[in-house]
Structure 1
């Protein structure tokens, strides 16, 4: 995870440098002065990358070394179980549909569709999260 943290820190530094360059260039060559939207967008992008990189750097200190972090690792070092992935779940499809419907509804600003998409999104997230939840056995 150290590598991922470094990549995010590099991108954050690049975004901050480009923020300064963008501000100077638009201040010198634009007729209306410094363009604020692009400046803020670059600044916030750099900030978000810095947050992600800092998180990954802190987590990298606490977890054991992964095969990806070892320079002398073999392909077989990463073999084994990676986790549980649902083989036949339809909830990701419903979640994607609800999110797309919500985005389209907000773009067109149909209030009734926004409400419908929000309800569908909540149902889809609930179904996705609790798909394999089993109630405890009653004694």
Structure 2
């Protein structure tokens, strides 16, 4: 994880340098600097710093992964990597109901938003509890 910490650390340093430069470059307008872009860059800098600190602290406490060791072999990383779900139709239904809800808000039809919310909650429950029943239950 040290490599990831270094990557995020370099990104944090880059953002620390770019954020004030962006503020000064956009300061030429009559209202001052661009608040939207500057605040987005500040939040991105803080997020990158947070991930850097997290990865840096945990890299010291963890046992090195095979890709972090200089003497690591490809065979050291063999084995089960985790659970990867098979195909699912539930993300499609969640996306469609979200689209109905957004269209309801944009069109001013709150009844359509409510219908999309009800169907969306059913689709979300189906997505969350998909692997608790049927063929793929575990």
Q: TM-score scaled by structure 1? A: 0.71
The whole-number CA distance in structure 1 between the counterparts of 2:23 and 2:75 is 49
CA RMSD in angstroms comes to: 2.9
Aligned length: 132
1:10 Cα shift? Answer: 1.9
Aligned to 1:8: 8
Aligned to 1:137: none
2:36 partner SS: helix
1:39 Cα shift? Answer: 0.9
Q: Superposition pairs for residues 87-106 of structure 1, below 5 Å?
A: 87-99=86-98, 101=99, 104-105=102-103
The whole-number CA distance in structure 1 between the counterparts of 2:105 and 2:30 is 31
Aligned to 1:40: 39
Alpha carbons 2:104, 2:111 under 8 Å: kept: no
Q: Which runs of 5+ in 1 are unaligned?
A: 135-139
> Which one scores higher on RCO, CA 8 angstroms, separation ≥ 6?
1
The whole-number CA distance in structure 2 between the counterparts of 1:52 and 1:10 is 12
Structure 1 stretches of 4+ moved >6 Å: none
Q: Deviations over 1:65-105 (max 9, x none)?
A: 11221233222222221111122333333344445x27844
1:44 Cα shift? Answer: 0.8
Q: TM-score scaled by structure 2? A: 0.72
Alpha carbons 2:101, 2:114 under 8 Å: kept: no
1:124 Cα shift? Answer: 3.6
Q: Which runs of 5+ in 2 are unaligned?
A: 134-138
